[in-house]
Structure 1
Amino acid sequence: MTQLTEAPPGAPAEPPPAVARRRRGVSPAAVGLPVLGLVIAVAAWWLVTSGLHLVHPVALPPPQAVARSLADTTDVLLPALGITTWMTLSGFLLSAVVGVLIGMALAASGRVERMFAPLLVAVNAVPKIAFGPLLVVAVGFGQKPILTMVFLLCFFPIVLSTATGLTTTPADLAELGRSLNASWWQSFRKVRLPAALPQIFVGLKVAMPLAAIGAVIGEFYSDRPGLGYQILQYNGVGDTATAWAAIVLVALMSIVLYAALSAIERFALPWVRATTSAR
């Protein structure tokens, strides 16, 4: 029979197996499964376009044609990718700052929430593409219409997640703050905000792909030669393969930015993975 030995005083307790597995780092499945999903998606794309010829190549070129176009136009699409990435990140950061502040204001006062929540819902309900021509007239060409479009698409999920997280603090944590006679600021900084951060990151991760969509839509109505601009230009001359190559770059950019935001979440909130059950 195995003899049980008591851990020496001060030694950290051994984490549960699920937590230990999550602390080991990136598993091969974390990389292999997304790659497998990408391979399946490309294979289905090829089957629909080249294998079974279910879609005309003018509407949806086969993946090999898109890859050739991407290789032939890297001198145009890669600088455009840089412009779109910068616009996406700039608009997302602006949305994150303003959205968190608005969410904090809604959570701090029930009257403010009842006053402005219907307006926020109304603005979010309007199709953002309808604002495109109006933004050019209102703010002109350049970066402003792109940033405005990104902001309009991103801010609502950030506001909603921030307000929800700050108003759903666990009762035991709130009671702990009151029992320690914590001031409002101490309670907010030490209890409410840390408890709300997982919910806030949910809103940020929802908003990140929307930021890419907003940047592309904004470039439709701007003179900035980003990927959205290139999609319109190449589609206008009938070069749909290159237009789809630009769309693929938008998708890849969104994946990378989302993965980076998820990595930031894991680094900034290590206790979330350590205190939640494994799937």
Structure 2
Amino acid sequence: MDTVPADRRRGGVVERAWRPVALIFAFLLLWQLVTVTELVEPYLVPSPGRTAEVLVGKWSYLWPHTLTTTWETLAGFVIAAIVGVLVAVAMVYSRAVESTVYPVLLFAQVIPKIAIAPLFVVWLGFGFEPKVIVAVLMAFFPVVISMVTGLKSVDTEMLELASTMGGGPLKTFVKIRFPASLPHLFAGLKVAITLAVTGAVVGEFVGANEGLGYVILQANGNMDTPMLFAGLIVMSVVGVLLFALLDLAEKLMLPWHASRRGSAVTTTLLAKG
């Protein structure tokens, strides 16, 4: 009885996976053709094989730097998520807070983080803190905006029903507003985690002696393009894995949401047909 649904689920996974795999393969093939035909000088664009050699051969060097960037990213992301949610709640429940904070958020968002990152290095040195702060600044805005949107998108009839049944603001928030806002929040969190990786690396560009940003900067200064490409690939993989973990958490926490029910509904209709 359970074999058919399982087979269909496996078929769905294959159906979703083959397109990105094919795209990655096509990109690697194009990359290889560019290097083989020498359209670009090898010292400017290394071949995929040479980049893979560096990834494997220098992994013992890349691994500690990868861990450093990952910890900086996670620290910045967690801080941005917690503070962002609290600020969003305050903005939704207080018009005075919203009218005061929202323009400041917009102003802070349009400032290039690479322009203010050196200030944090001057103030805090070359340690862990400046990179985390830049990661927080990069990740903070999408968390706030998505949470505000989620909290404001709750059906007003549900809120009125809760009020008539004697539900206070706190109980209404816990039982209705917050659960209903989670799909929007997760959308913002998934954007924020990728921006947090970028923020950590930007902080390392400005001043660091470890991390993937440091590796990329050193490789660029030494014209070591295979190492530079290897650093960029590892940085991208870190971002993709963290994004995938958040997507998995969303699937586990929000199985009831319409976006998660789509495949199940389609499978049911196909089975009936």
Interval containing the TM-score (normalised by the shorter chain): 0.7 to 0.9
Q: How does 1:261-272 map to 2 (within 5 A)?
A: 261-272=246-257
The equivalent residue for 1:203 is 188
Q: How does 1:41-56 map to 2 (within 5 A)?
A: 41-51=27-37, 53-56=38-41
1:221 to 206, 213, 216: 206
Pair 1:257-2:253 in alignment:
no
Bigger mean CA offset, 60-69 vs 42-51: 42-51
CA contact (8 A) 2:113 2:138 kept: yes
**Structure 1 residues 274 and 211, CA, compared in 2 at 3 Å: closer, same or farther?**
closer
Partner of 2:147: 162
Q: Structure 1: any 5+ residue segments left out of the alignment?
A: 1-19
Superposition RMSD on alpha carbons, in Å? Answer: 2.1
Question: Does residue 1:231 correspond to 2:219, yes or no?
Answer: no
- 2:42 corresponds to: 57
1:124 corresponds to: 109
In structure 2, C-alpha distance between the alignment counterparts of 1:95 and 1:50, rounded to whole Å: 45
State the partner residue of 2:227. 242
The one-letter code of the counterpart of 2:93 is A
For each residue in 1:185-227, what CA deviation from the matched residue of structure 2 results, as whole angstroms up to 9, or x when unmatched? Answer: 1111111111111001111011111011011111123334111
Please, which runs of 5 or more residues in structure 2 have no aligned partner? Answer: 267-273
Q: How is 1:129-168 mapped onto 2 (pairs within 5 angstroms)?
A: 129-168=114-153
Aligned partners of 1:143 and 1:224 also within 8 Å? no
Which of 1, 25, 39 is the equivalent residue of 2:25?
Answer: 39
Distance in 1, Cα, partners of 2:35 & 2:257:
44
Query: 2:84–2:141: 8 Å Cα contact kept in structure 1?
Result: yes
Q: 1:148 to 1:171 in 2, by over 3 A?
A: same
- Residue 246 of structure 1 aligns to which amino acid in structure 2? G
**Structure 1 residue identity aligned to 2:250:** E
Q: Distance in 1 between matches of 2:150 and 2:80?
A: 17
Aligned to 1:29: 15
Q: CA deviation at 1:33?
A: 3.1
More helix by share: 2
Aligned partner (choices 39, 44, 59) of residue 74 of structure 1? 59
What is the aligned partner in structure 2 of residue 185 from structure 1?
170
TM-score (norm 2): 0.88
Q: CA deviation at 1:47?
A: 2.6
- Report what 2:90 is aligned to: 105
Change beyond 3 A, Cα 1:266–1:84: same
Query: Distance between the aligned counterparts of 2:103 and 2:30, measured in 1?
Result: 43
